[in-house]
Amino acid sequence: MAKSRLLRLWLVLGSVFMIVLIIVYWDNVGAAQFYLRTALPRPPPALGPLPSAGPGDQQLSPAQILEKLLGGGGGGAQQPAPETPRAGWPRPQASRRPGPSNLEESVRGYDWSGHDAQQSPDPDGRQAARRSLLRESCANASLVFPAKARSFDDIPNYELNHLIVDDRHGVIYCYVPKVACTNWKRVMIVLSQSLSERGEPYRDPLAIPREYVHNSSTHLTFNKFWRRYGRFSRHLMKVKLKKYTKFLFVRDPFVRLISAFRSKFELENEDFYRKFAVPMLRKYSNHTSLPASAREAFSAGLRVSFANFIQYLLDPHTEKLAPFNEHWRQVHRLCHPCQIDYDFVGKLETLDQDAAQLLRLLKVDERLHFPPSYRNRTASSWEEGWFAKIPLAWRQQLYKLYEADFVLFGYPKPENLLRD
């Protein structure tokens, strides 16, 4: 019996040791495979002895063991005393709350306790109102949309690919295409130092080439966690969601659709022509023989109309083949606002003010500015012109398709478009 207990104890200790090795390896070696450049602080030569397993640790699950190691308490277990900072490591700020040390904090040199201190005043109450509306709408039983009631654990990994993580500053950004996401991705690259030029991390967001900005290998996103942490990935996501500052930017859903159509179908975009325009022209415009390239099609006057695009969105067969492309997928499907409690909800309509407030919230406003926004944005005043030739029944169906985004983010129902 004693030998059996000793064997179980050694198995627990061996499992804990392997978990620590995996975390240390991926955070300091494996991370370099995800980033074009990683500038995270390297750990000291030795992390010190592992916490010894107590009598109750033999009954803990692997997730509880990991939680205990990461400072989660392990179901109320006593935490180890804070470590003395080692030479070459960032020293804790004077304002840091006393508390137990944290393994990932030790590995990364990140102060997990800084999240609460980052909360700056909301001078006009705008953020409080937006966040309150989100919570109320998610709790409103009369607002029904697919996947609303599922838990965070029920969200598949591939649906978490829009959540970009910056471990240096404790920030999570859910990017929404056609809502200034190119420049916000640039900001995240500067913050995380995930990309370099001639060995130096970019400091000016606008200096980062666009092709790098939208390269998926540039960013660490939640859907990549399974490669780094395996079955512990969801637990670590929850830890980061609890501790980090989470933000997203949104815009009027119909205006976003117009913007997506303009950029993907009014310009010569070869990828979108082959993947989307050709099927639309065949199915909704009865074209049987189409040019092989967008350039040839445009020269021949063959273009997808806005009405074709709306037909495609409303066609029940569209999503049977594949989910909506990210440029017109609903925001609640990209960012899961009923499962993730966002700290900051920005809007494109108030981009300049919201960007400045967010950078102050993150305490990076003195060394980083949001790139100047271009003024030729698709405006809400254009809606009536764009939808003038769209049948009323289609407009009403389209609103139902995007109703959740209108309600969740406080955009008024476009009554003028939904009645004769």
Res 1: pLDDT: 60
The structural domains of the chain, with segments of one domain joined by +, span 2-79+101-109, 126-252+336-361, 254-327+379-417
Res 375: pLDDT: 53
Res 309: pLDDT: 98
Res 6: pLDDT: 67
pLDDT for 3-51, tens place per residue? 666 667 666 666 666 655 555 444 433 333 333 333 333 333 333 333 3
Res 381: pLDDT: 75
Residues of the chain with pLDDT under 50: 24-58, 62, 65, 68-120
- CB count within 10 Å of CB 356 equals 13
Res 122: pLDDT: 85
Res 63: pLDDT: 52
pTM to 2 decimal places: 0.74
The Cα 347–Cα 407 span in angstroms is 14
| Extended strands (E) in 219-258 | 245-250
The Cα 211–Cα 166 span in angstroms is 20
Res 378: pLDDT: 65
- CB count within 10 Å of CB 161 equals 16
Helices (H), 315-376: 318-321, 331-335, 351-361
Res 91: pLDDT: 32
- In sequence order, the 6+-apart residues with CB closer than 8 A to the CB of 362 are 118, 169, 171, 191, 245
**The pair of three-digit structure tokens given for residue 127, joined into one six-digit string:** 């953020």
